Structure 1
Amino acid sequence: MTEAAALPEDTDGVRVALIDWYASDHRDFPWRRTTDPYEILVSEVMSQQTQLERVEKAWAAFLDRWPTVSALATAERGAVVAFWSDHRLGYNNRAKYLHTAAQQILDEHDGEFPASPTALQSLQGVGPYTANAVASFAFNDGDAVVDTNVKRVLYRAFDVADDDSAFEDVANALMPDGKSRVWNNAIMELGSVACQKKPRCEDAGCPWREWCHAYQTGDFTAPDVPTQPSFEGSRRQMRGRVISILKEYDELPLDSLGPRVRVDYSPDGEYGREWLRELLSDLEADGLVETDEHDGETTAQLRR
């Protein structure tokens, strides 16, 4: 489908309706009340595959502990990773990358945040989506954000083909010039509270009902939405447990660490020394832990 075929004729009406809807009532997350790029970057990294309600408390605690990019850059990496693990914020690599990004801003940018999406991608762990979000919300200078929620909205409302380039073209054509901050917040909010997998058109007062293809036809199919793998018992959970345990000790032998990670740990069993060595090897590769040999016994500790 071409961009022209997907866009409604009353583009200005579509824009005004969405912005007015967002202005009248939306979820009041604290990072929506700031234009500080550091605070917004922290919120964006934390929000990756984590519920926003859980991120809110962690975000406030993180900024209370490391209130500026300089404070984070000079912090001990182990402390940052331990915080991440304690708050169950997903892959600990994100904490490591965020810490490195803060150091880059201090060392390579004289403490000043890059402002454009392209420049922001020079920071460790900041991909196109996160760079664009920070540019939009901190500097009001980004392209249209296209996440899963936005794709669902565009697919249903304007019958946009399930194609990444088509979504990007239509999203950017719809976004008003110079309003990336409010527009991106508004369309993501629409996808989160109204155009969910099970739509809430009436309950949420969707502002696009008069233009929406799905609303007119009753066909609310949408592109597949990726689901998060189960956390309980996952390798990701075990990695987090290792980090949480090691922060309490200078070092631990494998057979002392193992039972603390899994109650069914058995040195020669399925979840034994070999399983634990593989887990630690992954964490070593990520620069998060170190292992040493003492009198034929392997010990593990957080990398300082």
Structure 2
Amino acid sequence: MSDAPSELPADLDREAVQSALTEWYEADHRDFPWRRTDDPYEILVSEVMSQQTQLGRVVEAWEAFLDEWPTTADLAAADRADVVGFWTNHRLGYNNRAKYLHEAARQVEEDHGGEFPRTPDGLSELMGVGPYTANAVASFAFNNGDAVVDTNVKRVLHRAFAVPDDDVAFEAAASELMPDGESRVWNNAIMELGGVACGKTPTCDESGCPWRRFCHAYETGDFTAPDVPTQPSFEGSRRQFRGRVVRVLGEYDELGLSELGPRVRVDYGGDTGAEWLRGLVDDLESDGLVDVAEGDDGVRVSLAK
């Protein structure tokens, strides 16, 4: 562990943060086929294809590519013009990526006896494999990578833990958060969080973000980020009313739903009445922020002790 000052909040429960994210990811995540393999060649192909290409479109191309050239030996033996032609036909972006992938396969076969290097540094020696791709392959194929830091991860760290918009700070915070020896699950999970729940327009409650109870942005309502300079809409959002519930309860020891509702929104009632409010406080209870008790006089809500 580095002696440098931490970029994370001093009172952050790191183990709780780690458990919340990995449990959320393992319970349910997008099922891309390259997440079901630890073959470094298949993972490298997916990483190269995914650069600036929508993942939904990559799936078909990835499967077709591996049908055509299922191993590095097959790809290395292929005519480069055929590989570039495939890339063009599947609209996968810059053709140089196809050339580099073909050359990387030749390096694996000719320089490494058909075996991939297992570390980020070793993988970076392959043609066209930069630090991010090398780390991704090391993580997902060999569980031997460093903490990944891409645009999604920066956005998550900036919002959740107020990490400064600085590459060194992001690297330090990401490394500090990742559990030792867990790069495969952790890097997949934190990128999934950025892609599913914490996009440019966040869907915290809808996606069941596991970091809501730790999140600075969720608490303050400020969801700006390095790649989101304009504040996403907050007025009238579920996040806003969750925050109001917490603030109102901070002024009272305990309130019933009928007392709490009008203090949370002036138009309390109808579609935004007791059923709506109960869903809100149940979410807050699940996140450990409030206590909900059933009594003879109905539901009573208070801040969690």
Q: CA deviation at 1:8?
A: 5.0
Alignment of structure 1 residues 133-212 onto 2, 5 Å: 133-212=136-215
**Which one of the candidate residues 90, 93, 102 is aligned to 1:90?**
93
1:15 matched to which residue of 2? 18
Secondary structure in structure 1 of the residue aligned to 2:212: coil
Distance in 1 separating the partners of 2:84 and 2:35: 25
Distance in 2 separating the partners of 1:6 and 1:168: 15
**Which one of the candidate residues 65, 68, 84 is aligned to 1:65?**
68
Q: CA deviation at 1:3?
A: 2.1
Secondary structure in structure 1 of the residue aligned to 2:98: helix
2:222 matched to which residue of 1? 219
Q: CA deviation at 1:159?
A: 0.1
1:33 matched to which residue of 2? 36
Q: CA deviation at 1:9?
A: 2.2
1:272 matched to which residue of 2? none
Secondary structure in structure 2 of the residue aligned to 1:210: helix
Q: CA deviation at 1:84?
A: 0.2
Q: CA deviation at 1:47?
A: 0.3
Asked if 1 retains the 8 angstrom alpha-carbon contact of 2:7 and 2:163, the reply is no
1:117 matched to which residue of 2? 120
Distance in 2 separating the partners of 1:7 and 1:36: 39
Distance in 1 separating the partners of 2:173 and 2:72: 35
Q: Deviations over 1:49-71 (max 9, x none)?
A: 00000000000000000000100
Kindly provide the amino acid, as one letter, of the partner of residue 133 in structure 1. Answer: A
Secondary structure in structure 1 of the residue aligned to 2:163: coil
Distance in 1 separating the partners of 2:11 and 2:96: 42
Identity of aligned residues (%): 70
**Which one of the candidate residues 97, 100, 103 is aligned to 2:103?**
100
Secondary structure in structure 2 of the residue aligned to 1:149: helix
Point out 4+ residue stretches in structure 1 off by more than 4 angstroms. none
- Structure 2 residue runs without a partner (length 5+): 230-305
Asked if 2 retains the 8 angstrom alpha-carbon contact of 1:148 and 1:225, the reply is no
Kindly provide the amino acid, as one letter, of the partner of residue 48 in structure 1. Answer: Q
Asked if 1 retains the 8 angstrom alpha-carbon contact of 2:43 and 2:141, the reply is yes
Query: Does 1:46 find its partner at 2:49?
Result: yes
Q: Which has the higher contact order (CA 8 A, sep 6+)?
A: 1
Kindly provide the amino acid, as one letter, of the partner of residue 202 in structure 2. Answer: P
Q: CA deviation at 1:2?
A: 4.7
Distance in 1 separating the partners of 2:203 and 2:132: 26
In our comparison, the structure showing a higher alpha carbon Rg is 2
Distance in 1 separating the partners of 2:106 and 2:26: 36
TM-score, normalised by the number of residues in structure 2: 0.72
Distance in 2 separating the partners of 1:124 and 1:8: 43
C-alpha RMSD of the superposition: 1.4
Asked if 1 retains the 8 angstrom alpha-carbon contact of 2:7 and 2:172, the reply is no
**Which one of the candidate residues 124, 129, 133 is aligned to 2:132?**
129
Distance in 2 separating the partners of 1:19 and 1:37: 22
